[in-house]
Amino acid sequence: MTKKTRLGNLPPRYGFMLNPYPDLRISSCPRCERKTGQRKIPLLIHIDPLHLIALNYTCRYCKDCDLLIAHKHEIEHLLTDLFRQHDPNVIGNDYLIVGTLEKQAWREGLAQPKAIDETFPHASDFATYYQELRVTRAGWYKSDQEPPIAEPPPSREWIKAEQSR
C-alpha cells in the first residue's frame, strides 16, 4: 500500500521507520547511529479496507533525527490480538501506520470509540516516511564484496487464515 493523501489535520510530525527484524534491538539510530531512547505515543494505523485504530505503543526514538522506529512484529502481534476478538477476517490485510494521535484523543477514544472523521482533527501524519529498515548480514566479507542484505522474516501472526494452515 502506498501513501497517498494526508489524513491528519494537525501539522505532520516525526520521521517514521519500521523495523522488520524481530531480533534486532534498535539501541542506536539507523540514520545517525546515536543512542536511541523511547517514546510512548498513540500510532494511528489504517487497515484495509476501512479500519482506523490508534495503538498506544512504545517506539524507539532518536531525538536528533526526530525519528520514531516501531518493531513490525510487535505491531502485528498487537493488531492480531485486537482483531482476533472483533473481526478476525481483517487479520492479514494490508495496513499502513499513517501517523500519530494526540494522547488526549486516544484516551477519549478508549472510553468512547470515535468515528474516523472525528479522529483526523487530532491526528498528525508523519513528516517523513522512511523505507522499512534493511540491514546487511553479519559476517566477514572480502574487501571487494558487498555484504548481502539480510532478508527479514515473513509475518508470523498477521497472515490470512488460509495461509496459516
Footprint of Zn ion (CB under 5 A): 29, 31-32, 62, 64-65
Q: Provide the minimum distance between the beta carbon of 67 and Zn ion in the complex, in angstroms, as a whole number.
A: 6
32 versus 110: smaller Cβ distance to Zn ion? 32
Of 29 and 44, the one with the shorter C-beta distance to Zn ion is 29
The minimum distance between CB 29 and Zn ion, in angstroms, equals 3
Q: Per residue in 52-91, is it b (16+ CB within 10 Å) or e — as a string?
A: bbbbebebbbbeebebbbbbbbebbbbbbebbeeeeeebb
Minimum CB distance to Zn ion smaller for 29 or for 78: 29
Please name every residue paired with 101 in a beta bridge, in sequence order, or none if there are none. Answer: 123
Cell for 132? Answer: 522499512
Q: Which is nearer to Zn ion, 61 or 83 (CB)?
A: 61
Rounded to a whole number of angstroms, the minimum distance from the CB of residue 98 to Zn ion is 22
The DSSP code for 146 is: P
| Residue placing its CB nearer to Zn ion in the complex, 7 or 62 | 62
User: Please, are residues 154 and 28 in contact by the beta-carbon 8 Å criterion?
Assistant: no
Q: Which residues pair with 124 in a beta bridge?
A: 10, 100
What does the DSSP assignment read for 102-143?
Answer: -HHHHHHHHHSPPPHHHHGGGEEEEEEEPPPP--BPPS---T
> What sign does the CA torsion over 115, 46, 79, 122 have?
negative
Report the residue closest to Zn ion, judged by CB. 29
